[in-house]
Structure 1
């Protein structure tokens, strides 16, 4: 079971590296790592388990955050229509996106960043992702709103980018023209 001790913190060199592709079909070891990422997210959203093990709640986790520089992410989030988006993915990549931008009105956070970094992170409002599922089968997912933002945040981890890289230092709370504010 992954705990907060397993999650590396901002400043660790792995967080700034481009992760390696996972060879398909995935090895048992890679499947176990991916399952453990998903398990952390599920456990972190359960108040009883989170409290017992001191887990910070999250909606996504990428392998580089546990010092495994491979392209794998887990996301477990509910959208504005109460639809669950729960995925364990190898080699996710954004294949298309909207021109329109969106941002979380409360700002973004990260399990690898202990302090609050205020400001808006502008991302694509809608994205299409291609990836391999836990068994290695290629899938295509269309996302918007909070799930789209969560996916972009986790995919950024696979490319050595952090959410605060996108915050305008001079005007952190200035929304882009026509950008959609998403409340969490």
Structure 2
């Protein structure tokens, strides 16, 4: 299975709002192909040649529901300044098990492959989170403690699994003063 930008559904498609279902183990061949394809898309999405020739849009994460698959799966690939991968996950059945009271948000707001329209405003997130999941890349159950940008990306992708989009968190006239000791991530 190979995903392209044509496989990604938009927020105008009601399926993006569906709640994804737990994935059973052992993984079926179809589920293995899907998690591999999600990871591959995110890895390749920043390749200039693929952007130009295949219309890829750069991404740091992708959830299965974004390709119309109602499964609790997501892939995240974060790159450093030299474009090297600094963190990567291919998570199945991720669960948020704890979070900080402190908030954080991206100074320039969030975006999404499934959302073409720009939505201005603060998207409040937990500054620190702990997730438990099965990581397909490591082939084992993992506990991930994340903060900063990584925590925001993971929360964004996990929201997709529950049918929530980033702009659902934006409230009119919500400024930093309405958040709990927020960390602003540039």
**What TM-score bracket applies, with the shorter chain setting the length?**
over 0.9
Name which of 155, 159, 172 aligns with 2:158.
Answer: 155
Mapped pair 1:86 → 2:88: yes
CA drift of 1:24 comes to 1.3
CA distance in 2, matches of 1:20, 1:59: 22
CA drift of 1:83 comes to 7.3
Mapped pair 1:52 → 2:53: yes
Q: Deviations over 1:101-140 (max 9, x none)?
A: 1000010000000111111100001111100122762111
1:20 corresponding residue in structure 2: 21
How does 1:1-184 map onto structure 2 within 5 Å? Answer: 1-78=2-79, 84-134=86-136, 137-168=140-171, 170-171=172-173, 174-175=175-176, 176-183=179-186
- Which segments of 5 or more consecutive residues in structure 1 lack a partner in the other structure? none
SS in 2 for 1:38: helix
CA distance in 2, matches of 1:79, 1:147: 12
Q: Deviations over 1:71-116 (max 9, x none)?
A: 0000001479x87110101001111111111000010000000111
Q: TM-score when scaled to structure 2? A: 0.91
Q: TM-score when scaled to structure 1? A: 0.92
CA distance in 1, matches of 2:122, 2:80: 19
SS in 2 for 1:165: helix
Cα RMSD of the aligned pairs, angstroms, is 1.7
Q: Give the direction of change, closer, same or farther, for the CA distance of 1:39–1:121 in structure 2 (3 Å limit).
A: same
Q: Give the direction of change, closer, same or farther, for the CA distance of 1:177–1:98 in structure 2 (3 Å limit).
A: closer
- Which segments of 5 or more consecutive residues in structure 2 lack a partner in the other structure? none
The question of whether the paired residues in 1 share the 8 Å contact of 2:18 and 2:163 is answered with yes
Q: Deviations over 1:130-162 (max 9, x none)?
A: 001227621111111111000000000000101
- Equivalences, count: 180
CA drift of 1:166 comes to 0.3
Q: Which runs of 4+ in 1 moved over 4 A?
A: none
